Amino acid sequence: MLKIIELNHQKLKSQQIVDFAYTENLIPKYYEFYEQWLARKLNGSIQYLDTPQAAKRQSIRNLFAECKSALVFLFSHLEMKKYLDEQAYKNKMAAFVLGYDGIDYHHHIRKSLNAIIKDHFFYTKTVVCVDTMPLLERDLAYQAGLGFIGKNSMLIHPIYGSQVMIGTILLDHKLDLSQKMVVSSGCGDCQNCLQACPTNAILSPFTVDAAKCISAFTIEQMKRLDPPQGFKSQNYIFGCDACQNVCPFNIEAQKKVKANQSGEKAAFIEDYFLKNELPSIETRLNQLSNHAYKKQFKDSVLERTGRVGMLKNIEHLTD
């Protein structure tokens, strides 16, 4: 086993890392459930989940054959969530869009984890994973003891809630680190998320129909298709936090942080989409070329969805 150099907790905090854990449990607990979910075609517009790559998620070693262990990190955007709640904008976006200074969380996580590797694991083979990799990252975080799976299928940390993104470093060695206890469940009899979903996308506890999910529709569906029934009730133009807003763990977690908005890109997105009326935003987007849109929103999560995808979201709200 290799010893890990003590990670600087203040440095982790500056990267919005609120917790991390070590695990040698590399076989997903919920892979069979995931297979059944795909077989029912509940992935909707999230087509990349149902490809030949999907089978790789059965074992981390399908992704990284030499893998012996993993460090799993949670990156929080809870301070941004609290800021947006206090602003109470009529137009809404999921908090992760403006979190991390408005930079695409994939970029932020990769940069942060690569810096940790450079400082501590330069001597060993590693693979950095975010949610674009064929890895069941919520399952891995659960097995690492970083939380439990909620009835809305989100990972819920007992202290920091579910307003987190997951980043992982896979290693080809075991480390001399203790492993956290797995938190088996925390929802109890709570049904808040099921009752709060405006489109009834949570079919039953732990089962989400992505075809009905506002988040999936606004982010993954780039064609001009009809939205799920109930879409207009929330005024979300990108992403959706409806099920997370009512989670008792998130409500408690938010009481412990200060509202914070930071980053030029976050401020630009806020000004563009949240401080203007929808018809005005629609006009501006119609006047942009696709190239100009991508240039304006480069390195944000809005870049991938594209101008046409964002127009689709807004047009359905203004119909």
* Structure tokens that stand for 97 in this block: 């869009």
Residue in this structure with the two tokens 């969805």, named with its chain if needed: 305
Strands 207-208 and 69-76: unpaired
Contact 77, 273 (CB under 8 A): no
- Catalytic residue flag (residue 85): no
Phi, psi at 128, each rounded to 5°? -90, 130
* Structure tokens that stand for 57 in this block: 């998620």
Contact 196, 245 (CB under 8 A): yes
CA-based diameter of the chain, in Å?
61
Contact 32, 206 (CB under 8 A): no
Q: What span, in angstroms and rounded, lies between the C-alpha atoms of 148 and 142?
A: 6
Nearby residues of 8 by Cβ (< 8 Å), 6 or more positions away? none
Contacts 24+ apart (CB under 8 A), 42-45: 42/203, 42/207, 42/208, 42/209, 42/210, 42/211, 43/210, 44/209, 44/210, 44/211, 44/212, 44/213, 44/216, 44/217, 44/220, 44/221, 45/210, 45/211, 45/216, 45/217, 45/220, 45/221
Q: 242 vs 77, 181, 295, CA distance in Å?
A: 16, 30, 30
Q: Which of 50, 101, 131, 172 is catalytic?
A: 131
Catalytic residues: 131
